[in-house]
């Protein structure tokens, strides 16, 4: 387990600001996810945390200790508590075993055959010891990188998009390993732009955009109640509707063309975007009476089977809503394109974001 805090971290490259004034805490002994679009600064932040590069300014505290004040030997000792997995696997030319033994050799430490066997078993590379590492498949290379780091038993794991470009089975394998690591008390920080992965793995999520920290908090909070439209759009929130706030009959509403959506808001004027999660919208064939303030009629435009759930696209007054229902209810209600349905959701289900 390792406690990490960064303070006012700034990094530049070729005169360009890559990270701008980042201050945050990571959760120790848990999975932390760094989210953000390409170019947000995720890899730059990970490289600073991994002590590969020095920041332009700011400080990183490892277990409370400022890293910039460390003497050279202390920095090497710190780096030996950190394991890094690169997005593009960096492997030594040679066998799988040679790759595994490189770390212990640098530390002047010997590892037993049992330790190697156990690591290979955990990462599903058993029997591959003598294979040329560069001949492995993409998923195997990524697992070898993880195995190489696990053998060194670091306190902190830094993983840079460890499942990018991998097949679904390899992704599953690596996700399982990451959860196990956090379960055994390791601090894991990983960069990803896979939302499903973030929800699955993360205790804590950090969202970066263009080098700035947009939001940090629990993964559920950041993904479900985003503080900015950037996150909502990035997290592929299905229903993002922009309009103007107004007061109507003692209530606050968001006017979006023909639709008037009732919301809960302290503000009652100005432009805003509403984010409504598909799972918060109730679908019925006939209008239902409920305490939910918002109910709209619309025609189904498309029905898409997503496996576990079915997604419906419904046109309500010119705005296309996406809603999820179970496959069974879809069949029971005989829902098909062209059929009119009612969409009902609470005012509190509408998450408002300021615009402009």
> Is position 102 an interface residue for other proteins (rule: CB under 8 A)?
yes
Q: Which stretch binds other proteins (CB under 8 A): 21-29, 103-111, 182-190, 235-243?
A: 103-111
> Is position 220 an interface residue for other proteins (rule: CB under 8 A)?
no
Tokens of 148: 């190489």
Q: Which stretch binds other proteins (CB under 8 A): 25-33, 75-83, 170-178, 216-224?
A: 75-83
> Is position 211 an interface residue for other proteins (rule: CB under 8 A)?
no
Residue from 65, 94, 107, 268 binding other proteins (CB under 8 A)? 107
Residue 261 CA to residue 296 CA, distance in Å, equals: 9
Q: How far is the CB of 83 from other proteins (least distance, A)?
A: 7
Q: How far is the CB of 141 from other proteins (least distance, A)?
A: 13
For β-strands 204-209 and 31-35, DSSP reports them as parallel
Is 78 or 232 the residue whose CB approaches other proteins more closely? 78
> Is position 68 an interface residue for other proteins (rule: CB under 8 A)?
no
Determine how many CB atoms are found less than 10 A away from the CB of residue 106: 11
- CA distances for 231 relative to 72, 208, 290, angstroms: 39, 9, 31
- Segment 147 to 206, residues that bind other proteins, using CB under 8 A: 148-149, 152
Contact between residue 185 and residue 163 where contact means Cβ atoms under 8 Å apart: no
Is 31 or 78 the residue whose CB approaches other proteins more closely? 78
3-state secondary structure 266-326: CCCCEEEEEEECHHHCEEECCCCCCCCCEEEEEEEEEEEECCCEEEEEEEECCEEEEEEEE
Residue from 21, 37, 70, 80 binding other proteins (CB under 8 A)? 80
Give residue for tokens 């009612």: 342
Contact between residue 246 and residue 269 where contact means Cβ atoms under 8 Å apart: yes
Residue from 26, 86, 207, 321 binding other proteins (CB under 8 A)? 86
> Is position 92 an interface residue for other proteins (rule: CB under 8 A)?
yes
- Contacts with 305 (C-beta within 8 Å, 6 or more apart), sequence order: 327
Residues in the site for other proteins, rule: CB under 8 A? Answer: 50-53, 72-73, 76, 79-80, 83-84, 86, 90-92, 102-103, 106-107, 148-149, 152
């Amino acid at each position: 387990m390792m406690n990490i805090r960064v303070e006012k971290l700034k990094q530049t490259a070729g005169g360009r600001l890559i990270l701008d004034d980042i201050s945050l805490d990571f959760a120790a002994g848990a999975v932390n996810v760094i989210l953000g679009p390409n170019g947000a600064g995720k890899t730059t932040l990970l490289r600073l945390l991994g002590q590969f590069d020095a920041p332009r300014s700011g400080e990183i505290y490892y277990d409370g200790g400022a890293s910039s004040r460390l003497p050279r030997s202390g920095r090497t000792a710190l780096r030996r508590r950190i394991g890094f997995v690169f997005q593009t696997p960096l492997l030594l030319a040679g066998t799988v075993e040679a790759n595994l033994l490189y770390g212990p050799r640098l530390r002047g430490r010997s590892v037993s055959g049992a330790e190697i066997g156990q690591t290979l078993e955990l990462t599903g590379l058993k029997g591959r010891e003598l294979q040329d590492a560069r001949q492995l498949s993409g998923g195997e290379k990524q697992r070898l990188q993880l195995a190489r780091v696990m053998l060194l038993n670091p306190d902190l794991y830094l993983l840079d998009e460890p499942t990018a470009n991998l097949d679904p089975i390899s992704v599953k394998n690596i996700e399982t390993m990451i959860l196990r690591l956090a379960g055994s008390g390791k601090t894991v920080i990983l960069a990803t732009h896979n939302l499903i992965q973030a929800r699955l793995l993360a205790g804590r999520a950090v969202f970066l955009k263009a080098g700035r920290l947009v939001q940090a908090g629990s993964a559920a909070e950041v993904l479900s109640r985003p503080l900015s439209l950037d996150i909502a759009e990035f997290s592929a929130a299905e229903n993002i509707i922009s309009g103007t706030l107004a007061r109507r009959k003692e209530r606050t509403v968001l006017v979006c063309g023909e639709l008037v959506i009732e919301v809960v808001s302290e503000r009652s004027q100005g432009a805003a975007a509403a984010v409504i999660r598909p799972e918060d919208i109730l679908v019925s064939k006939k209008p239902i009476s409920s305490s939910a303030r918002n109910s709209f009629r619309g025609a189904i435009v498309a029905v898409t089977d997503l496996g576990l759930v079915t997604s419906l696209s419904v046109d309500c007054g010119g705005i296309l809503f996406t809603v999820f229902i179970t496959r069974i209810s879809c069949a029971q209600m005989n829902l098909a394109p062209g059929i009119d349905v009612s969409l009902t959701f609470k005012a509190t289900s509408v998450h408002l974001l300021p615009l402009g």
